[in-house]
């Protein structure tokens, strides 16, 4: 059984391969949340790949849908998809689109219109409580989408409704499509904002596996939704991508693809390329 660090390493390499094969953008955005998604799928989420619609499964929403490669790789390692499925990513007719679709086993909601994931998560968490079910709901958001008013409506609603079966994570990499998020719309003390709205706040290093695990495992505070404000690095793990916002849209060439895998310490054979 691999540990969370090994799991994250494999997920990161798979995302690189998928992005290169499909000629797709948004790899840097996927790499910044890889450690968070990996911990969730490795040791937090209660799921059954043989029964994707199991009523008591935990719900997971990747609100930053442009980071779909990391979700697909995690679903494959959990048995929802095969490596052959991953090879179809981005191809015409494939269910593995550049933004996830709920047609795919293990995907709870179609995402990519930023600001929709947390409201969907609130609805799922509320439905579980109304029906007396014990599943939990988890949402991973981008920092940039916290510019959206729908996010803050959901933040207020979750606190008002006391949704302590809801956990959200902000992938706080400080960048978005058009540049530095702090220059576009400075959210200043993001952790303080969530705290003021009545959330149970955990501010962490989003690449420190131990911190991520500890925050997810922290006992819930009755009546309060939980938020992890995770400080991350866009393009984490690949030197020429880290904190370089050109890689929000850039595609890998053959040369920088091979360099990326080398920096991750992964051979082409090791990731099924």
In order of start, what are the domains of the chain with their CATH numbers? 4-271 (3.40.50.970)
What is the torsional sign of CA 154, 140, 123, 218? Answer: negative
- Exposure pattern of 84-102 as b/e (b: 16+ CB <10 Å)? ebbbbbbeeeeebbbebee
128 pLDDT above the threshold of 80: yes
Under the banding of pLDDT at 50, 70 and 90, the label for residue 1 is low
Beta bridge partners of 168: 139, 227
Beta bridge mates, 60: 138
- State the Cα–Cα distance between residues 145 and 75, nearest whole angstrom: 24
* pLDDT 10s digits, 85-101: 999 999 999 999 999 99
Q: Name the range with the highest mean pLDDT among 62-66, 171-175, 269-273.
A: 62-66
Using DSSP, state whether 123 is helix, strand or coil: helix
Q: At residue 66, does pLDDT exceed 60?
A: yes
pLDDT of 253 higher than 90: yes
pLDDT at residue 273, rounded to an integer: 40
β-pairing, 59-62 vs 179-180, is: unpaired
Percentage of the chain lying above the pLDDT 90 cut? 87
Answer yes or no: pTM beyond 0.85: yes
């Amino acid at each position: 059984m691999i540990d969370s660090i090994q799991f994250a390493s494999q997920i990161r390499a798979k995302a690189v391969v998928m992005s290169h094969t499909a000629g797709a953008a948004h790899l840097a955005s996927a790499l910044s949340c890889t450690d968070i998604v990996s911990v969730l799928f490795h040791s937090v989420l209660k799921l059954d790949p043989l029964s994707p619609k199991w009523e008591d499964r935990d719900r997971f929403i990747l609100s930053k849908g442009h980071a779909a490669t990391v979700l697909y790789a995690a679903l494959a390692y959990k048995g929802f998809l095969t490596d052959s499925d991953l090879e179809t990513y981005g191809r015409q007719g494939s269910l593995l689109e550049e933004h996830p679709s709920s047609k795919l086993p293990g995907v709870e909601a179609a995402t990519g219109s930023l600001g929709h994931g947390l409201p969907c998560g609130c609805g799922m968490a509320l439905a579980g409580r109304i029906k007396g079910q014990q599943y939990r709901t988890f949402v991973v958001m981008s920092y940039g989408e916290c510019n959206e008013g729908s996010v803050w409506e959901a933040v207020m609603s979750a606190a008002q409704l006391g949704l302590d079966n809801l956990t959200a994570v902000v992938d706080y990499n400080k960048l978005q499509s058009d540049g530095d998020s702090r220059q576009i719309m400075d959210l200043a003390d993001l952790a303080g904002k969530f705290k003021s709205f009545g959330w149970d706040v955990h501010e962490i290093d989003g690449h420190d596996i131990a911190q991520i695990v500890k925050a997810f495992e922290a006992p819930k505070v009755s009546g309060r939704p939980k938020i992890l404000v995770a400080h991350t690095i866009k393009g984490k793990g690949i030197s020429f991508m880290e904190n370089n916002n050109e890689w929000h849209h850039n595609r890998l060439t053959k040369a920088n693809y091979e360099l990326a895998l080398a920096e991750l310490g992964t051979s082409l054979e090791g990731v099924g390329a």
